[in-house]
Amino acid sequence: MSIFDLLFGKPLATSAEKDEHIGVAAGVPIFGLDGLTSAAYGPEAAMMLLMPLGILGVQQHLIPIFIAILALLTILYFSYMQTIVAYPTGGGSFTVASENLGDVAGLLAASALMIDYILTAAVGVSAGVTALVSAIPALHPHQLALCLFVLAIIVIVNLRGVRESGVVFMLPTILFVGTLLTTIAVGTYRAIASGGHPVPVLAPPPPPHMFETFTKFALIWLLLKAFSNGCAAMTGVEAVSNGVTAFKEPRAKRANQTLTVIIFVLMILLMGLSYLAKAYGVTAMDPYASNYQSVLSIAVSVVFGRNWFYFLTMGSVLAALSFSANTAFAGFPRMARAIAQKDYLPHVFLLRGRRLLFSHGIYALTGFTTLILIIFDGVTDRLIPLYAIGAFMAFTLSQAGMVKHWLKTKNEKHRIFKLCMNGLGATATGITLLIVLTTKFIDGAWITVILVPLIIGIMWGVKRHYKRVKIETADPTPLRLTGLEPPIVVIPMARWDKIGEKAMRFGMLMSPVVKVVHVASSEEFDSVDTVWEKLVMQPVREHGCAEPELVTVHSTYRTILSPLMDFILKLEDENPGRKIAVLLPELVVRHWWENLLHNQRVQLLKLLLLLKGNQRIVVVNIPWYL
């Protein structure tokens, strides 16, 4: 077995596609880790905004904020259950919006989802490394390098296929959920048993002092900003509806079961961690402080201290947060394929790789995620302002599309109830989108506002290109056999050798009109014109073949490509209606590094002919294998 097969797995036959389909157990880690692990950074994102209020921010406002978030999460849960049933072949926002609201709405959802998936991967990796840095502060200066290392591991795992990635991610998911549920259960029991005043095993860092007194309007504005930050905990909800096709039959039933498990566990984690923060006086810390700890790290410390369970929990958080990027790697390639099917993205996204994955989607997501991590230096909180915009834009368009779907489906059972539920979802997510966009605009949401129309413009450009190609290449007429004549063959040749001989033999088979072009300069030696008569013309005359013509073009400035291009284009212009076949003799070496030892003029000439040529100029490679 080669190292490549060991890393990425052996190629899978197309017939093995059904074997790659997954059940609920694998579906939760593949499509749910993003949502579940948002419990690790969602509460902290909200608590960061409450820092100016000191300990009162957590004591008075944190739980009401997350009650509102959980109410919105419940609405989304029931809405997406209906979406999955209505679109068992994959009901992502792009599909639902484009089919029911038109291409413009579909592209808006697609661009928002692209941003969301990229940030899902970046935030997941970044938050996972933040958990590691909290446990080992000495690693803080190396946060970006660690992020890129973890990303590389995730990409390798994902390239092995959906089913294998589900198996790999199952253990971190179980550990993450199990350790956090244990922390919540033990911490809640101690808080209730002590009458609401538990004694922490390890005292949390002192809360920040209240910086100023807020007016009523300023306080409302601050709470809205905290709510919008906390909404990052809902960004992975749509993943299951995007990936319905990955499940075994019955797809819709298994997908809904998976969604139910994810939402139920997420709600317990969010409310449980919020309660622990309030009961034990846990507040957020400045992420740039040298002694920074995440809220999750502090919460586990106050319940269990810094013992083996703490490090097990933080290790599981690191693994789960990092692997939560898999949600993006599972969803982005499928979404890109759906968009490419409508010609809005390059068709390369339609191709399945060696492991039955849409590999080019994974490559693209890896590149964008790497770029985002480098730009933001791997710090999670810098990404949060950008995170929820794309998700809630996709939520809103998807739910609005479902409303239109139920309006068109007259005979659907319980249609009015389903219509009202999706209408409620569209209204709630639309209002939340406005809140998030308004409160986070200055903090970085403006970038999303710029990126969305830019991405839409690029996709429209791709669509126009494919449309133009289709119009220009379409030919409904029968094969035309009139006006056929051999082409004029042009063979660039510096000296006579086996490579040149092979090109000559092939050219003389193609056409009786062969022009061998030699570019002469004062610095050449062993040129073809010195042996032309003896080694070429004499054998041609003896066999009675059509005689090729040697054309010598003088190069004043020792350049080769420009005189060749001028000759070929002039020849094409002088022979209207005649094909020009340019044969390019090319040396093919055994090792890639040997290419560095040979002149690459053939590749440059080929590129120039493709760029400056037209329909009547044909380029043919004549390889000589060493």
Q: Which structural domains are found in the chain, ordered by start? A: 3-466 (1.20.1740.10), 488-625 (3.40.50.620)
Separation between Cα atoms, residue 39 and residue 28, nearest integer Å: 15
pTM confidence score: 0.78
pLDDT score of 5: 64
Q: Between 173 and 387, whose confidence is greater?
A: 173
Quick one: tokens of 283? 């507040």
pLDDT tens digits, one per residue of 139-168:
878 888 888 998 988 888 888 776 677 777
pLDDT tens digits, one per residue of 228-258:
878 877 777 777 887 788 888 888 889 899 9
Q: Please name the residues in contact with 50: beta carbons below 8 A apart, sequence gap of 6 or more.
A: 57, 58, 61, 62, 222, 226, 283, 284
pLDDT tens digits, one per residue of 534-568:
999 999 999 988 999 999 988 777 788 888 898 99
pLDDT score of 456: 93
pLDDT tens digits, one per residue of 564-613:
898 999 998 888 888 999 999 888 888 888 877 876 788 888 888 888 87
Q: At 210, is the pLDDT very low, low, confident or very high (cuts 50, 70, 90)?
A: low
Instruction: Please compute the mean of the pLDDT values over residues 352-381 and round it to a whole number.
Output: 82
Separation between Cα atoms, residue 37 and residue 176, nearest integer Å: 8
Evaluate whether 527 touches 518 at the Cβ level (below 8 Å): yes
pLDDT tens digits, one per residue of 454-480:
999 999 999 999 999 888 888 778 887
Phi-psi label, residue 33: left if phi above 0, alpha if psi -120 to 50, beta otherwise: alpha
* Residue 320 pLDDT > 80: yes
Give the DSSP per-residue string, 201-221.
Answer: SSPPPPPPPP-SPPPHHHHHH
pLDDT score of 92: 75
Q: At 131, is the pLDDT very low, low, confident or very high (cuts 50, 70, 90)?
A: low
What DSSP designation does 441 have?
A: I
Nearest 5°: CA angle at 259, between 254 and 264? 130
